Structure 1
């Protein structure tokens, strides 16, 4: 399903409407289901809290309780295939095509009216694009080590190794199904912005940026499929159909079918409510997305994430979100377990197109500096969320154009100033948030839109953003003192990004709650993507991919590799389809 592109400000502003959902929950592995739970499984509604005084370790949410078995007499159609792929987002479409290319008879099931996709950023390594453009990238183990470090050594390093080693070839495979234009740098303009093109982010790399010297590095070589990656999705779907695959939409998976310990198929219902039995001789691939639109699951597994507004979800034919953990539930009912947490909310602070998340002074509503600003977009949001009212302000002065070149070339960063005489030439880059280009005209437009607030003095600025003037003045004075010393004695920001705020006009950019794209946490799996039970044994015939699988991201979503989620969904969807087709 196509979704409209949103600007940084639209993304940032959605957080203001985030609902705070109350409820008890225990994060971690799933306990064994109890048969006496009250609420209907998979409803997506919050369950009533346990009675006061109860033991929270014995609480079992309703979604863990399997529904009554499907009455076989209600089946109106039976389909026999080798592989059934449930969920046709990015991972599912890739699984469908790969299974078909491997010679399997395969069907894909999707409860929405179309394949599900959004945006188009892919973090990949070693593709033909990288080779053609001469993009230098780090060694596999450098990336894996950094990702494991920022995620507390919790993900499955074998999965990360596979992804990085195969993502380049998988990208070539994925986009090779449709005609597209390749831009040669991040400042190029496509021949026709309405037609498919590939945009290399941060290419060439800013000469002042060395990721090996960064505390929060962002690896180079990410690419954007634009206007979004719908063209590659539909191209891949058509390639799957050309290889013999079938796809059914507005069709919802209800329950897996088991014979003994093995998953041998799935019951699905069509848009008229008819029950269809799909027999899958070699396996079922679950790739149904994440759990963030099921309030009960979200509250149970990641109560901290309930304070974020969830958006960007594909919708079913009734206009309801499709990312309600259907695959997770069916897998648990069949004996698989969720991975150990803590699960990772994907939340980014992005700022304005002109300044982004550049590490200028940031203060809270008390007018106080509260942390080192030189961190990634995810990490920045984590701190913002902990400030008074979840609101902070980026503070800088009129010298911002000459300071951009020293800023980190990271997801959400802005590193290029375009002078007025070159704005027309760089119009596409200036208007593309991932490029990192800014101009006077765009900056002025954001002032007029209210996303950048100007003032002639720090005291006036304090009044406009409603923070205590004396506190803000003291904070700026202290920051200027540190900048002139060249040493951040308070929060240890690197001196090369410690700029005094002295020459008006002065500016503030409000930061609030980000929205949440997905809540990443899934079914425990091995490197071959078999779903695992509580004893780490494979559930025969059951595979997981995309946001239904575990092992990829934990604690926080790392922006170290921008677009890693898309890229992993592509690579692991393809692997799941291949393994299922082989019965491996």
Structure 2
């Protein structure tokens, strides 16, 4: 076996583990391999990994011979991946005067979410008279991450957020789009600030979807500045010189021919997360496999960039990697009401944030779903609860300044529509006994659980899980409704170890020269769990990292 195809030790991949200079040099001219030598398609296969029982990212494939390259293209900045962070980076670099090429493996750009981006400050927030305490919100972020994220990287997010969001708002307005700031949650324990900027409208928006509009907006602007976007052109191998500097990448077009892109100013990995690669999930985010559904419909997030970084000498952040989960894989309303698992038992404090509900259902509930159960008074109870709580699937994506009744009306439509259109997820019956027969629960345990819960509601104290007393709404008056609460995976927002300037770092915290990572393939800004006190901060992270790195590679970035 050649030196290039020998295994890279697991220890050398993790931040804090030693990797000698000789080992770095031995990595040579390597990257993401063609199919016959360990492609993304192979990585999808699962935990089998590479040779000798090693993981795919630990086994460095052979380099593509120079005589197999059919075409060479010279650019300055090469961005690999056409999602939020990649398209933003391409635009910012092109605006700064760099020659930019973005390669995307699919025939289209890929966006996720509902077009919303979180920011700690912006001119739209100023118009509404909204401001936040950065110190408090950053501390909440860091605490949610178990104090394992790199605080200097998080602080950069907070410093750059307003500038980058205002730049984005300028682009949106130029293209006929408008911004609506939506409400967060008033929970004393898990507050979510009113900072979610929903961008919609204009010609580009009408041509696309809420999920990918932002990416096509960035592409349109980038092309006006001379950037080139190339579709169906997956990167299959990074190019490194004898010193280990990344100088470009070899891609493969839809005809199977190899095209080498030379990028002396930098290669940017913006390839997304590892949601659809079980090998990565087993090793770094096993809880992600407990969800009912993986919600990223394109299924292309298989760790391409993670593999490339590892094969080029980069390290990964320590595990477990944080997951972004929302309880929206079945019903999209559940509120603060009583939850029961398939065993018919209540198992958690239901008045918590979306990530907490997902983890609670899977870990404490022991299943990939539970049922939110409420009685005929649910609309009145929901209206009352919103003064103390809220957040996604409890409140609604309503505009800041609207009253709570807007959320109640919205969820009424959701529940009534669900009963008619998706009856597997929404159930209603005149009696609790009849409702239990409709659910996949143990009937006797269910009835006991409801009886016990109602007694605690009467007494005004939840001695089982200590849910705040103002959320103790009894389940007594029919008809009774149950909505399935099912965790869905939006992304695994951890991975490649990076510097505060988004350089890919090795296990000794030294840059792999010429290589950068942004967006969900990059790590360190989150750890252990995903913070949602700043709603939409993951899209905000893509905006900030993309813009700042693009400016940096173009030589126009000014540190705040």
So what's the TM-score if we normalise by structure 2?
0.83
Corresponding residue number in structure 2 for 1:561: 534
CA distance in 2, matches of 1:84, 1:39: 23
CA contact (8 A) 1:416 1:438 kept: no
Is residue 168 from structure 1 mapped to residue 162 from structure 2 by the alignment? yes
- Give the count of matched residue pairs: 511
2:189 pairs, out of 190, 199, 215, with: 215
CA contact (8 A) 1:44 1:293 kept: no
Query: In the TM superposition, what are the counterparts of 1:250-399 in structure 2 within 5 Å?
Result: 250-259=232-241, 260-308=243-291, 311-313=294-296, 315=298, 321-350=299-328, 356-386=333-363, 387-399=365-377
CA distance in 1, matches of 2:408, 2:98: 44
Shift of 1:232: 3.2
The secondary structure found in structure 2 opposite 1:357 is: coil
Shift of 1:404: 1.6
CA separation of 1:131 and 1:47: change in aligned 2, threshold 3 A: closer
Cα deviation digits, residues 376-423 of structure 1 (max 9, x gap) = 111111121233543321121111121122232212213799xxxxxx
CA separation of 1:361 and 1:231: change in aligned 2, threshold 3 A: closer
Cα deviation digits, residues 185-228 of structure 1 (max 9, x gap) = xxxxxxxxxx84433212xx7xxx644xx222212221223451
CA distance in 1, matches of 2:270, 2:117: 18
CA distance in 2, matches of 1:416, 1:141: 26
Cα deviation digits, residues 147-205 of structure 1 (max 9, x gap) = 11112111122222221232233223224334489xxxxxxxxxxxxx84433212xx7
CA contact (8 A) 2:57 2:311 kept: no
Corresponding residue number in structure 2 for 1:448: 420
Corresponding residue number in structure 2 for 1:133: 128
CA separation of 1:59 and 1:554: change in aligned 2, threshold 3 A: farther
CA distance in 2, matches of 1:334, 1:220: 41
Shift of 1:313: 3.9
CA contact (8 A) 2:334 2:485 kept: no
Cα deviation digits, residues 550-582 of structure 1 (max 9, x gap) = 112222323323322111111111122122223
Task: Provide structure 1 residue ranges, at least 5 long, that are not aligned to the other structure.
Answer: 1-24, 52-57, 182-194, 316-320, 418-425
CA contact (8 A) 1:282 1:583 kept: no
CA distance in 1, matches of 2:442, 2:91: 59
Give the superposed CA RMSD: 3.2
Is residue 414 from structure 1 mapped to residue 413 from structure 2 by the alignment? no
1:102 pairs, out of 93, 96, 106, with: 96
CA distance in 2, matches of 1:369, 1:309: 19
Is residue 60 from structure 1 mapped to residue 33 from structure 2 by the alignment? no
Corresponding residue number in structure 2 for 1:92: 86
Query: In the TM superposition, what are the counterparts of 1:41-80 in structure 2 within 5 Å?
Result: 41-42=39-40, 43-46=42-45, 49=48, 60-80=54-74
1:236 pairs, out of 202, 218, 233, with: 218
So what's the TM-score if we normalise by structure 1?
0.80
Corresponding residue number in structure 2 for 1:29: 14
Corresponding residue number in structure 1 for 2:494: 521
CA distance in 1, matches of 2:157, 2:501: 12
Is residue 494 from structure 1 mapped to residue 462 from structure 2 by the alignment? no
CA contact (8 A) 2:292 2:369 kept: no
CA distance in 1, matches of 2:391, 2:125: 18
CA separation of 1:334 and 1:132: change in aligned 2, threshold 3 A: same
CA separation of 1:273 and 1:370: change in aligned 2, threshold 3 A: same
Shift of 1:97: 1.1
Is residue 548 from structure 1 mapped to residue 542 from structure 2 by the alignment? no
CA contact (8 A) 1:96 1:107 kept: yes
CA distance in 2, matches of 1:26, 1:459: 56
The secondary structure found in structure 2 opposite 1:281 is: coil
Shift of 1:240: 1.5
CA separation of 1:350 and 1:312: change in aligned 2, threshold 3 A: closer
